[in-house]
Chains A and B, each alone.
Chain A
Amino acid sequence: MADFTMPTLGADMESGQVVQWLVQPGSRVKPGDVVAVVETHKGAIDVECFLDGVIDDLVPLGTSWPVGAVLAHVRLADEAPVAPAGPTTPVTRSGPGRTRVSPAARQRALAGGLDLDTLKGHGADGAVVLADVERALATAKVPIAHTARTGGFDPAQMRQAIAAAMARSKREIPHYYLEESIDFGPATDWIEAFNRERPPTERLLPAVLMLKAVALALKAVPQLNGFCVGGQFDQAPDVHVGWAIALRGGGLVAPAIRHADRLDLPNLMTALRDLVQRARAGGLRSSELTDPTVTVTSLGDRGAERVQGVIYPPQVAIVGFGRVVQRPWVVDGSLTVRPVVHCSLAADHRTSDGHLGSVLMAAIAQNLQSPETLNLWCTP
């Protein structure tokens, strides 16, 4: 028998609340199955179970549990005869069939005692949004759940959690900072040409090139990709880039784009769009919050020109990009005007020095000079 416990979804999480079980007592679970929706300060997260067996003894909904608390037991497949004859209940509903619910909508529904399963979503990708809940509550033609539940996404709680994680970072991590202005002309030209022939659904954003440039640079300089555990650097074998996403209404979350160094740009764009959508509408997976080996933040076309990041422990580096701006630039001894992006690195001095950081920055700048190379698939 093994325990399925409340996972820690980042350095800033202390507790969570199971708001939905996607399995029933006696369900067969396989590693990677999404078994529960847990409400945290980062919104509702789809929590995966990495055990193989039959799950039972599910805790009731609506109570807050600390990280590490036992939420269910799993009788492992290799310890006893699995599930005697009889219908197992494959009720795991991950993927397209699952209803996505925005954090605000979930909170309102819980407060109003509304059963979310009865609602039809009108948000992007059919997500249930606040307006759907308000409409349902106003008309009250939907069944009301038996017990009104409380709790849910709370911006104040998220602010507190961010404060705790960032304070820990500034207290424990001796940051050093590097900056580089990068000619973004080749990237801009390449994106314009790429997008010109394509419908809006297939177009790329500049952020995708920045993301890929960093991922490839980390593959070349792996000493900045990983974690600082007990003062020792633990290098990660893969590059899973945590992408900082601002949530509407305040707060942010930086879930992983797994193997960002391997994907070509259209697939990276699809992954990024999907991630932003789920970060805001609900449906991030627990592994996406625990996998990032580094963080990248891009302020976008309305952001500030420069950013200096704060490392998200236990990671050892964060790369930031400001807004792309037109600036005077010297090419072959003559002055010209180019799109320029300001790139920054904040890294952990316990595990690396400015020299290594400079090698990473040079690699990022170099990668952005050859966008066609960024677009290649890379085999593991």
Chain B
Amino acid sequence: MTPADIRQLASDVLAGIAPEADLGTVADHEDLREALDLDSMDFLNLVIGLSQGSGVNIPESDYPKLFTLAGMQAYLGGKGKPA
């Protein structure tokens, strides 16, 4: 997956979790949980959506790598299914 694909995937998943949130307002290295006010349940739902959309089984110990958009792109970009 390209960084653009991953941004789109994150945006789609977040639309279902925090409909009023706009990923466009979040900087690449900003903590999404803080920026979009995601609680533990929201973040778990984000992980579920990212995992299903990318085909990557994301272990719990890797959650911190997904706190930012840049982290997400680096993590899923290396493991996800080909674009």
Q: Count the B residues whose beta carbon is within 8 Å of the partner chain — how many?
A: 22
Interface flags for A299-312 (1: CB within 8 Å of B; 0: not) read 01110000000000
Residues of chain B lying within 8 A (CB to CB) of residue A272: 41
Interface flags for A311-337 (1: CB within 8 Å of B; 0: not) read 000000000000000000000000000
Instruction: Flag if A200 contacts B41 (CB, 8 Å).
Output: no
User: Looking at the complex, which one of B17, B47, B51 makes contact with A124 (CB distance below 8 Å)?
Assistant: B17
A54 at the interface (CB under 8 A from B): no
Q: By CB atoms of chain B within 10 A, which of A130, A248, A273 has the most?
A: A248
A124 to B41, CA, bound (A): 13
A123 to B58, CA, bound (A): 22
B27 at the interface (CB under 8 A from A): no
A199 at the interface (CB under 8 A from B): yes
- Least distance between B53 CB and chain A CB atoms (Å): 12
A276 at the interface (CB under 8 A from B): yes
Instruction: Flag if B18 contacts A196 (CB, 8 Å).
Output: no
Interface flags for A178-222 (1: CB within 8 Å of B; 0: not) read 000000000000001001100111010111000000000000000
Instruction: Flag if B60 contacts A131 (CB, 8 Å).
Output: no
A196 to B60, CA, bound (A): 7
A-B contact count (CB 8 A): 62
From residue 316 to 370 of chain A, which have CB atoms closer than 8 A to chain B?
none
A284 at the interface (CB under 8 A from B): no
A127 to B45, CA, bound (A): 15
Instruction: Flag if B60 contacts A129 (CB, 8 Å).
Output: no
Instruction: Flag if A203 contacts B60 (CB, 8 Å).
Output: yes
A339 to B82, CA, bound (A): 40
For B34, give the chain A residue with the smallest CB separation: A302
B5 at the interface (CB under 8 A from A): no
A199 to B51, CA, bound (A): 9
Residues of chain A lying within 8 A (CB to CB) of residue B44: 200, 203, 205
A237 at the interface (CB under 8 A from B): no
A300 to B38, CA, bound (A): 10
Instruction: Flag if B16 contacts A124 (CB, 8 Å).
Output: yes
Residues of chain B lying within 8 A (CB to CB) of residue A249: 20
Residues of chain A lying within 8 A (CB to CB) of residue B20: 104, 130, 248-249
A122 to B49, CA, bound (A): 13
Interface flags for B6-42 (1: CB within 8 Å of A; 0: not) read 0000000001111110000000000001100101110
Instruction: Flag if A130 contacts B51 (CB, 8 Å).
Output: no
A125 to B59, CA, bound (A): 24
Instruction: Flag if B16 contacts A122 (CB, 8 Å).
Output: yes
Instruction: Flag if A201 contacts B16 (CB, 8 Å).
Output: no
- Least distance between B80 CB and chain A CB atoms (Å): 15
Instruction: Flag if A200 contacts B16 (CB, 8 Å).
Output: no
A300 to B39, CA, bound (A): 7
User: Looking at the complex, which one of A104, A125, A205, A302 makes contact with B33 (CB distance below 8 Å)?
Assistant: A302
For B21, give the chain A residue with the smallest CB separation: A248
For B50, give the chain A residue with the smallest CB separation: A200
A102 at the interface (CB under 8 A from B): yes
User: Looking at the complex, which one of A131, A195, A199, A301 makes contact with B40 (CB distance below 8 Å)?
Assistant: A301
Instruction: Flag if A205 contacts B41 (CB, 8 Å).
Output: yes
A246 at the interface (CB under 8 A from B): yes
Given contacts A201-B48, A302-B33, contact A129 B39 (CB under 8 A): no
A122 to B58, CA, bound (A): 24
A118 to B24, CA, bound (A): 29
Given contacts A199-B57, A200-B48, contact A102 B40 (CB under 8 A): no
Instruction: Flag if A205 contacts B40 (CB, 8 Å).
Output: yes
Interface flags for A102-140 (1: CB within 8 Å of B; 0: not) read 101100000000000000001111010111000000000
Q: By CB atoms of chain B within 10 A, which of A125, A127, A199 has the most?
A: A199
User: Looking at the complex, which one of B18, B47, B58, B60 makes contact with A248 (CB distance below 8 Å)?
Assistant: B18
Which residues of B are at the interface with A, using a C-beta cutoff of 8 A? 15-20, 33-34, 37, 39-41, 44-45, 47-48, 51, 57-61
What are 21 A-B interface contacts by the 8 Å CB criterion?
A: A104-B19, A124-B16, A124-B17, A124-B45, A129-B15, A131-B19, A196-B61, A200-B51, A200-B57, A203-B44, A205-B40, A206-B40, A246-B39, A248-B37, A272-B41, A300-B39, A300-B41, A301-B39, A301-B40, A302-B33, A302-B34
The 10 A-B pairs with the shortest beta carbon distances in the complex, nearest first, are A124-B16, A129-B19, A200-B48, A300-B40, A123-B16, A300-B39, A200-B47, A195-B60, A200-B51, A301-B40
